[in-house]
Structure 1
Amino acid sequence: MYKLILSDLDETLLVNHHVPIENVQAIKKAREKGIKFVPATGRAFNMIPQILDEIDAYDKEGEFSICFNGALIVENKDNRILNFNGISFEQTNKLFKLSKNYDVCVLIFTMDMCYIYNANSDEVERKTAQKAPFKVMEVDNIDFLKGDKIAKILYEKKDVVYLKSIENDLQKDIEKLKVCASYSSNRYLEFNTLGIDKGFGLRWLANYLDIDTEDTIAIGDNYNDEKMIQAAGLGVCVTCAADDLKAQADYVTKHDYDQGAVKEVIEKYVL
């Protein structure tokens, strides 16, 4: 019997940054059966209060969130941090300097703020729509972040082929810096510290809740969801996912994210 469901947000649970009513209703029915539903997102915790409110999990004891691709695990009541594994300033600074060799927008997430360098209007509009606290950087160094808790750094460009070419170029640097790379929303190349991903988040939270990983479901659509899809007892890909990611899933939804994919999974495997 499944006891824990982890779901990605963008292009999985959400439509236009909100949870469709059919998904809300399915999550409610799953909870009535004693199953925990946990967002597992690349977003910061301070970007998801409205989403948590829509699924009746905002500021609730015994409700949890996995953020920054697994770098932050929170109990929603009073934003109680259970585990944080960020990226060091040294790792971030090196990746920031390397970014200047490429045509990308750079986003650096601390616990409380998103700093955007080489900002484009599209990304600023996206962060505004996501209700993300952000600042556009006017300087080309990040010394001001020394001593801050940095969660991750991203390169942004709406050209995944170009982003993958960057990852190939930086392979030796990635290995030397002990970071891991993943992709999301068909526009982000994300860097977390090595070993930190949504699969880590799933295993950590399952252990914390004394739930066997075989009793977990993970639902996602992109490469930053890959590790949790592999780690879950039931790994699910939304039908919009790339074929190589779908090949790793135990189940691929018939419906897309904007057609109730999460509802489909809950109805099929829980209800």
Structure 2
Amino acid sequence: MYRMVTSDLDETLLRADGSVSLENVAAIKRATQAGIKFVPNTGRSFLSIQPLLQELGLWQQPQQFVISYNGGAVVENARNQVLLSHTMPYEVAATVFRALQAFDVAIHVYTLTHLTIYHPRPDDLAYLQTRGVQAERMQGDFEQFRAQPIMKVIAMNPDAEVRRAAATLALGERLGISAAEIMAIGDNANDLPMLTQVGCPVAVQNATSAVKQAARYVTTADFERGVAEAITRWGL
């Protein structure tokens, strides 16, 4: 019996416009009402997905959680309490930032509660708008972040590959849930570390071939109903 389901968001649970199907919402609510933990797993801030949590019936709920910043933070939904965090050392973050400045990319600097963008791109800003993400244009140099908790520094265009498995397993351990009791659902290469370390790795139909090969089960549906299909198949 699986006691926790963790799911990637973009193109796994969410449509291209950031919305979620009624089938997926209903299945998630049914699972959580049965005592299953449903944990959204995202690269964005936990603050940016509060409307989604409301839609899923998880908003401000105790003992329900979000993994954000690609595993940089585990947050309990009630009062947005940060339970686990893995910040970047300032010198490492500054070195990454300086290296990325050599390329034509938008550089995202995530602190625990804010997103600041250096050299924003129109396509990047349009994407963030579909996800309800609030961002500030960077003013001044990187020194402004020295005393702040830096969660990640990434470049948009090309997309960065990031790893989220460690936070999933750490949350499970905290809740007394073993890796064998976790179902993880994904679609892309950055989901592979998470998928390869849980008891039930699931790929939605629109997933890459590598993700499908790593999956125990590939849904017949894509992001429209794939999460609901996986939850229903195992009677969660």
Range of TM-score over shorter length: over 0.9
Structure 2: gaps of 5 or more residues = none
Q: Distance in 2 between matches of 1:244 and 1:211?
A: 27
Aligned residues: 235
**Aligned residue number for residue 8 of structure 1:** 8
Task: Check conservation: 2:189, 2:210, Cα contact below 8 A.
Answer: no
Query: Among the aligned pairs, what percent are the same residue?
Result: 33
Greater helix content: 1
The alpha carbon displacement at 1:138 in A equals: 4.3
Structure 1: where are the runs of 5+ without partners?
158-162, 164-187, 192-196
Which residue is 1:224 aligned to?
Answer: 190
User: Which letter maps to 2:7?
Assistant: S
Q: Which has the higher mean CA deviation after the structures are superposed, 118-127 or 4-13?
A: 118-127
How much does 1:190 deviate? 4.8
CA distance in 2, matches of 1:190, 1:231: 18
- RMSD value, Cα: 1.4
Give the alignment partner of residue 241 of structure 1, picking from 190, 204, 207.
207
Q: Is the 8 A contact 1:44 1:111 kept in 2?
A: yes
Q: Distance in 2 between matches of 1:81 and 1:270?
A: 31
For residue 48 of structure 1, give the secondary structure of its aligned residue in structure 2: helix
Distance 2:170 2:155 in 1: 27
Q: Which residue of 1 aligns with 2:225?
A: 260
Deviations 1:87-142 (A, max 9, x none): 12211111111112222211111111111111111212222232222111244x31
Alignment of 1:146-225 (within 5 A): 146-157=146-157, 163=158, 188-190=159-161, 197-225=163-191
Distance in structure 2 (CA, Å) of the matches to 1:132 and 1:148: 20
- With the length of structure 1 as denominator, give the TM-score of the two structures: 0.83
Preserved CA contact (<8 Å) 1:152 1:190:
no
SS in 2 for 1:78: helix
After the TM superposition, which segments of 4 or more aligned residues of structure 1 sit over 2 Å from their partners? none
**How much has 1:241 moved relative to structure 2?**
2.0
**TM-score, normalised to structure 2's length?**
0.94
For 2:82 and 2:165, locate their aligned partners in 1 and report how far apart those are by CA, in whole Å: 18
Report the equivalent of 1:173: none
Q: Distance in 1 between matches of 2:81 and 2:60?
A: 10
Is the contact between residue 112 and residue 133 of structure 1 (CA under 8 Å) also seen in structure 2? no
Would you say the 8 A contact 2:105–2:121 is kept in 1? no
Q: What's the secondary structure of 1:109's corresponding residue?
A: strand
Other-structure match for 2:36: 35
